[in-house]
Amino acid sequence: MRGVKTLVPLCLLLATDTMAASQKITFEELPRLIEERNQHVQAASLSRDAAKASTGHLTRSYLPTLQAGVGGERFASGLLGQKGQPKGGIEARLNLFRSGKDRLEEDYLESQVTGKEAQRDQVYLDELTQARRSYWTIVYERELIEFLQEAITQNDRNLAAALRRIKSGIATDTDRIEFEMNGLQLKQDLARARLGNRNSQRTLSVLLGLAEDTEFETEMAVPHLHDDKLVAETFEATSHRDVRSALADKQSLELQSSRAGRWWAPSLDLYAGYNLYTQQERDAPIVSDRWESSVGFKLTVPLFDGLSGMTERRAALLRASAQENRAAQAGRQLKARWAALKQELEVGHDLIHNVEAIVNQARQYLSRTQGEYQRGVKNSVDMLNATSRYIETKRRAAELKRDYLFSRSEALATLGR
């Protein structure tokens, strides 16, 4: 009885309806909620948007730059003594030619956007897959709680029958003890199942950006899809975010290599300025004589860079080759994983149908054992075994359906959905 007194408060605590907010949710809503509320996804989206904001370099490179400066200078020149004079000016520069470097820079920035898009998709689908698994875990645990409650009710009936048999002298007191022990164990399992369900809801709450104590209203039983079209889908590895990310990195590195290989390329700039110099810079005592305007062009031709361009070019090409190998290996692994997932779905579907037939048999076996126990043909051990087998087969059926939906969630993520 001491165990019962210890267990009852725990069961009441876990069963008590808290003040948590209630949120009705369906499986189909998860993509939208992850998109809108998950901060990992929001952060990845901001990183992608930041990369997009950096593009447009080619257009900007042909816009003029304009700068103005104003200041003063104190100097001593010969017998003139200390003097303080203002200085300043305004200058404009215009890029006329960069030997294709601006186009390479723009292509590089656009390849960075492609990589960030793939990374953002990876984060989104990782978070969505976790949310889908958490959702089905919650549903499975709720179905398990229902099974355990059913088992407790059945055990109470068995205990009542045992007490009647003991009173009639056709059973011993050990029957009562066995059913009482089984009832305590079932209540412990129920308490653990409720705690696990609460923690699973916490996990989903965090993923969806909701309060940790949110109480979700979901389906109460794990469904089974009898006509799942997903197994007929085709998979293209090149569209997967892992491959796309590696190929985007490869492209970025190849562009870096091309840019480094053009260290020798000349550039041409047009410039114009209007400046006020001090008397130290222009030997003219009158201020108006120290104002100068200029306009011209400048051709810059690099002659030698200490082999840094060649070194950077080779290193970038090697890193690009590494990313190409990663993309190829990722593609092969993804194809193999897709084939495994399709097989898991096909086998899982067959197993679910098989276990549903076993559940029906276990239900019949329990019903007949109950009748035979009432007539004294079966004993308490037989009754306990029949009840446990029935509950276990129902749990196994729910577990197989849950695992099928886990695999299906991974398959959806592999397809980018």
Residue 53 confidence class, pLDDT cut points 50, 70, 90: confident
Mean of the pLDDT values across residues 349-356?
88
Q: Considering only CA atoms, give the Rg of the chain.
A: 38
pLDDT tens for 359-374 read: 899 989 988 888 887 7
Mean of the pLDDT values across residues 386-393?
89
Task: Give the distance from CA 347 to its chain's centroid.
Answer: 28
- Positive or negative, the CA dihedral 34, 38, 43, 46 is positive
Q: What whole-number distance in Å separates Cα of residue 52 and Cα of residue 43?
A: 14
Mean pLDDT lowest among 33-47, 67-81, 83-97, 239-253: 67-81
Q: Which pLDDT belongs to residue 38?
A: 92
Neighbours of 360 (CB within 10 A): 11
Mean pLDDT lowest among 47-51, 246-250, 285-289: 285-289
Proportion of the chain above pLDDT 70, given as a percent:
94
Q: What whole-number distance in Å separates Cα of residue 99 and Cα of residue 74?
A: 43
Q: Which pLDDT belongs to residue 2?
A: 45
Q: What whole-number distance in Å separates Cα of residue 155 and Cα of residue 352?
A: 27
pLDDT tens for 167-209 read: 887 777 888 888 889 999 999 999 999 999 999 999 999 999 9
Q: Which pLDDT belongs to residue 4?
A: 45
pLDDT value at 125 more than 50: yes
Mean of the pLDDT values across residues 83-97?
83
What are phi and psi for residue 211, nearest 5 degrees? -60, 145
- Specify the CATH architecture of the domain 2-37+98-266+301-414: Up-down Bundle (1.20)
Q: What whole-number distance in Å separates Cα of residue 83 and Cα of residue 285?
A: 11
Proportion of the chain above pLDDT 90, given as a percent:
28
Q: What whole-number distance in Å separates Cα of residue 410 and Cα of residue 129?
A: 7
Q: Which pLDDT belongs to residue 301?
A: 85
Q: Which pLDDT belongs to residue 79?
A: 63
Quote the mean pLDDT of the chain. Answer: 85
Residue 336 confidence class, pLDDT cut points 50, 70, 90: very high
